[in-house]
Amino acid sequence: MSELEQVSEAFRTFQREAKEHADAWMNAVMQLGRASALDPKTSALAYLAVLSALRLVSGVPFHVKHARSLGATRDEIISAVLVGLPAAGNGVTQALPVALEAYDRE
C-alpha cells in the first residue's frame, strides 16, 4: 500500500483541493518534527497517543505504519493508544482496533 493510500480520504482531499494550504501545513509539520527533542520512534508513539485521545481515528493507520517503520512493537502501539486512558477516558479504546488492524496488516 502506498503512503498516499494510507492517509484518510479527508486528508487526500485536503492535499488535492487545497494544495497551497496542504503544503504550508506539511512544512510546519516537518519543522516541528525537526525541533522536537524526542527521538523519531518516541515522537511517533506520542503522536499516536494524541490522535487516540482526540478520537481522530482516521489518521491512526498512517501513523501506526509510520511508528512501526521506526521500530515500534505491537505492544508499544497498544500502550501508546491507551496511555491517555486516565486523562481522556475510554474513548481512546476506539482507536485500538483501528491501530491493531493497521499494525497487523503488514
The pLDDT assigned to 77 comes to: 98
Q: pTM of the prediction?
A: 0.86
The pLDDT assigned to 106 comes to: 72
Angstrom CA distances, 36 to 53, 56, 63, 100, stand at 20, 22, 17, 26
Compute CA 68 distance to the chain's CA centroid, rounded to the nearest angstrom.
11
Nearest to 93 by CA among 82, 105, 79: 82
pLDDT in tens, the chain (106 residues): 555 457 788 889 999 999 999 999 999 999 999 999 999 999 999 999 999 999 999 999 999 999 999 999 999 999 999 999 999 999 999 999 999 999 999 7
Amino acid identity, residue 27?
N
The pLDDT assigned to 20 comes to: 97
The pLDDT assigned to 55 comes to: 95
Write down all domains in the chain, each with its CATH number in brackets: 3-104 (1.20.1290.10)
- 43 close to 9: Cβ distance less than 8 angstroms: no
Nearest to 85 by CA among 76, 96, 97: 96
Backbone phi, then psi, for 38, in 5-degree steps?
Answer: -80, 145
Cell reading at 47:
503522536
